[in-house]
Homo-oligomer: A and B are copies of this chain.
């Protein structure tokens, strides 16, 4: 019997990518699609790449519309998920693709978002230590942010194995879809093409405490994160360049061994052969994570670079993977490790 799924926020980039994946999921039937400002519009006008759903009409995000599904995905602006989730009852699986339930520390939430903290849900990054167990059978899932997905998968093995000091420096480049469909001047094609620029520099990006939370859990001590995101002239993809000071006596072999051990059995995280570095094009549209590590002897730093598709593994693919685990389906159902390239 098919899993019946509703998607709240079906007109945005995250919602569109989720629908693309659910259309190929062997166990899922797509139910209600909602989108407040776009309610009443054909999906074909908003997401023309989703041909099989072109004639679907978006509805308003109300409890009635969302009722009667096995899983409800929330792709809403932050701060709106809690109210919707409360109305859905405890027996339906709610997968929140927004930020509301990711952080454990209420002070962090209030510092970065300026509103009361709604709570903390099981965290949808199964590759973390203990990550799968936290999701099995859960009725609530908080999907990680796109940057924290790329960064945590890059650095957690180094911290879990005690290889690096507790200060991480991260510079990441993201495609423009990471900023969503908001109509802002700096997101216009004429501005984005041919240009690289940073934003939220100096600790201001809201994904910083989430990264710190994950790295701290792996390290067993507070890890401070210096995070600089940059906007790159591409539609999709995150390339995260992450480094930390190597602890004394740590060498290249130990670093590589830690990553081979951490990801040897993971279906989606792939440590590249030595000498080959990740490229975001290779994971375009896929749920794969490509990772490579280096030990810079002169600088005494461990450098890890990861590439993901921000909309797939970074958002909608991560959501589907977590849903699969929560519902007891095959973890890889509906997900691919094959990128669309070139």
Contacts and interface: CB of A to CB of B under 8 A. Distances in A.
A194 B194 contact: yes
Contacts of A314: none
Number of copies of this protein chain within its complex: 4
B277 A201 contact: yes
A99 interface: no
Contact of A342 (B199, B225, B236): B236
A133 interface: no
Interface residues on A, range: 35 or more
A285 interface: yes
A23 B300 CA distance: 42
Given A281-B194, A305-B198, A185 B188 contact: no
A197 interface: yes
B45 A276 contact: yes
B341 A49 contact: yes
Contacts of A341: 16, 47-49
A59 interface: no
Interface stretch (A90-98, A226-234, A257-265): A226-234
Given A195-B234, A226-B299, A188 B190 contact: no
A279 to B, nearest CB: 4
Contact of A183 (B184, B282, B338): B184
A211 B120 CA distance: 45
A177 to B, nearest CB: 4
A283 B49 contact: yes
Interface string A168-205: 01010101110001011101111111111111011100
Contacts of A225: 299
A226 B226 CA distance: 15
Given A202-B303, A232-B232, A277-B197, A49 B282 contact: yes
Nearest to A305: B198
Interface stretch (A73-81, A213-221, A286-294, A322-330): A286-294
Contact of A193 (B23, B173, B193, B336): B193
A340 B177 CA distance: 12
Nearest to A300: B224
Interface string A12-56: 010010001001100000000000000000101101111110000
Contacts of A42: 273
Contact of A201 (B47, B51, B201, B292): B292
A303 B226 contact: yes
Interface stretch (A62-70, A134-142, A156-164, A237-245): A237-245
A184, A197, A292, A341: most-surrounded residue (chain B CB, <10 A): A341
Contacts of A47: 341
Q: What 6 pairs across the A-B complex have the smallest Cβ distances?
A: A189-B192, A202-B294, A49-B339, A195-B281, A197-B279, A171-B171
18 contacts: A13-B190, A48-B339, A49-B283, A49-B339, A50-B339, A167-B299, A169-B301, A189-B189, A190-B235, A191-B279, A191-B342, A193-B233, A194-B236, A201-B296, A201-B305, A208-B298, A226-B301, A236-B342
